[in-house]
């Protein structure tokens, strides 16, 4: 596995006093722009909040994401089904968004940034404060900044930061040949 994938973590401790440089923001967006999408439709749309809209977006955060109010940059990721392939009632735009977001996250981690996508926000309020038209949906907010210090953060947040990353075992998320068949690999020692 690539080291950058092992290194990626949704950190919550951000330096509120260090803005993200414009050239780094451009690199993040370029990484996202080069993500694959169905017929190269590139269905993602990004809104950068780092000046006048930043405070308004922070007011839309759920209580559990109060740590994100330290962020000097929030990237709103939005799209709509019509921007990408719709094949036999399958909308591909969410896959495209996910690929672009992962590129953006990995690029940011490689540059030493905190990159944390969140779902804890009031979508209607975000759409209103950022003037996002219907039928666009807000899929995630990406909290961006430099690593900071834990002082002033809730103890629960600090404990989450200290906890090791957890993932489900491959046997729980993968089947061999048919749904429900146990994962079978030549080297079964891999699972021990």
* Per-residue pLDDT tens over the stretch 23-64: 999 999 999 999 999 999 999 999 999 999 999 999 999 999
Band (pLDDT 50/70/90 cuts) for residue 7 is confident
Q: What is the pLDDT of residue 143?
A: 98
Q: What is the pLDDT of residue 150?
A: 87
Helix, coil or strand: residue 160: helix
* Percent of residues, the chain, with pLDDT higher than 90: 80
How far the first Cα of the chain sits from its last, in Å, is 18
Using the predicted structure, report yes or no on whether residue 176 has a pLDDT greater than 70: yes
CA distances from 108 to 11, 72, 103, 111, 191 (A): 12, 14, 9, 5, 32
- The helix, strand and coil proportions of the chain, stated in percent and rounded to the nearest 5, come to 40, 20, 40
Q: What is the pLDDT of residue 8?
A: 92
Task: Kindly state the DSSP code that residue 45 receives in the 8-state scheme.
Answer: E
Q: What is the pLDDT of residue 191?
A: 55
Q: What is the pLDDT of residue 189?
A: 61
The token pair that represents 59 in the structure block: 């007011």
Q: What is the mean pLDDT of residues 123-128?
A: 98
Closest CA to 115 of 173, 41, 1, 31: 31
Using the predicted structure, report yes or no on whether residue 21 has a pLDDT greater than 80: yes
β 90-91/45-49 pair status: unpaired
Residues in the chain: 192
Using the predicted structure, report yes or no on whether residue 117 has a pLDDT greater than 80: yes
- Domains parsed from the chain with CATH numbers: 3-152 (3.40.109.10)
Q: What is the pLDDT of residue 190?
A: 57
User: Do 11 and 153 contact (CB within 8 A), yes or no?
Assistant: no
pTM: 0.93
Q: What is the pLDDT of residue 184?
A: 86
Q: What is the mean pLDDT of residues 90-101?
A: 96
Mean pLDDT of the chain: 94
Rounded to whole angstroms, the Cα distance separating 86 from 92 reads 6
Using the predicted structure, report yes or no on whether residue 69 has a pLDDT greater than 90: yes
């Amino acid at each position: 596995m690539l080291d950058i994938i092992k290194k990626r973590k949704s950190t919550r401790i951000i330096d509120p006093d260090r803005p993200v440089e414009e050239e780094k923001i451009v690199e993040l967006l370029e990484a996202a722009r080069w993500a694959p999408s169905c017929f190269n439709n590139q269905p993602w749309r990004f809104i950068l909040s780092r000046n006048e809209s930043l405070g308004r977006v922070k007011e839309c955060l759920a209580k559990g994401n109060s740590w994100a109010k330290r962020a000097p940059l929030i990237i709103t990721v939005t799209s709509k089904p019509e921007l990408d392939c719709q094949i036999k009632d399958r909308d591909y735009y969410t896959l495209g968004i996910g690929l672009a977001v992962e590129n953006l996250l990995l690029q940011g981690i490689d540059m030493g940034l905190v990159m944390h996508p969140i779902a804890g926000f009031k979508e209607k309020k975000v759409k209103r404060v950022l003037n996002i038209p219907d039928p666009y949906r807000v899929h995630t907010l990406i909290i961006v900044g430099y690593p900071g210090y834990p002082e002033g953060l809730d103890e629960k947040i600090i404990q989450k930061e200290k906890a090791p990353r957890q993932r489900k075992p491959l046997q729980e998320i993968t089947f061999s040949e048919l749904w429900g068949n146990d994962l079978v690999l030549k080297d079964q020692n891999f699972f021990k």
